[in-house]
Amino acid sequence: MGFWDALRGRRTTSAPNLDALFLVPSAAVTLQTSMGLTPTGEGSVCFRSAAGAAFQETQAEVVALIEADPETPEVEVTTDSFGFTWLSIERDPDEVAGLCTDLHAVNTALEAQGFGDGLLCSLVPFQVPGGARVGLVYLYKRGTFYPFAPKGPQQRDNLLEIQVRDALAAELPVEQELSRWLAVWGAPGL
């Protein structure tokens, strides 16, 4: 946000680049070959639901759109303790490309109705061989990815996160500022 906008009391955000989501399938292959992480077939989009009927209508349309797919992935809508809505999609673990198309569709549909400001992130979880899980988070406003590996109720496995970052650095726009690696405790699929 520029100084001039600040002076006028306005808030402007940069234009997001949703196409980065299509880089996830190849990143999934890299994670599988280099670290043994396997996709779980789940994916979710986290957003702020706006007050009013228009948003409810948009959300219902989005869910209907995803469910209209002949392969009928499962769609679930949950609300977390911070008041953010998680729209989670479950597909066959092999279909990462299809999953990313779904996530992209959800993001674009909300954006098209003027609710882009409320989009927080998209998440694709991966299975670690030991049993833990690590999520690849796409920050909508920044257009960057970062890993999130929860370990216990309020602890993160930072070592694993750094490993994932280094493995993906060549393939995805990775969030450079570590302070922006927002923790998403209790996200669906983690």
CB 181 within 8 A of CB 148: yes
Q: Pick from 159, 163, 162, 154: which is nearest to 185 by CA?
A: 154
**Rounded CA gap, 43 and 88, in Å?**
6
Residue 179 Cβ, how far from other proteins at the closest point, in Å?
7
Residue 41 Cβ, how far from other proteins at the closest point, in Å?
26
Nearer to other proteins, 55 or 145 (CB): 55
Q: Which residues would be at the binding site for other proteins (CB under 8 A)?
A: 1, 3, 6-11, 13-14, 48-55, 57-58, 61, 81-84, 111-118, 120-121, 139, 141-142, 154, 179-180, 182-183, 185
At 112, is the secondary structure helix, strand, or coil? helix
Residue 104 Cβ, how far from other proteins at the closest point, in Å?
14
What's the distance, Cα to Cα, between the start and end of the chain in Å?
Answer: 33
Nearer to other proteins, 18 or 172 (CB): 18
Nearer to other proteins, 23 or 50 (CB): 50
Residue 124 Cβ, how far from other proteins at the closest point, in Å?
18
Nearer to other proteins, 28 or 172 (CB): 172
**Rounded CA gap, 108 and 83, in Å?**
21
- The vertex-37 CA angle with 185 and 123, nearest 5°, equals 35
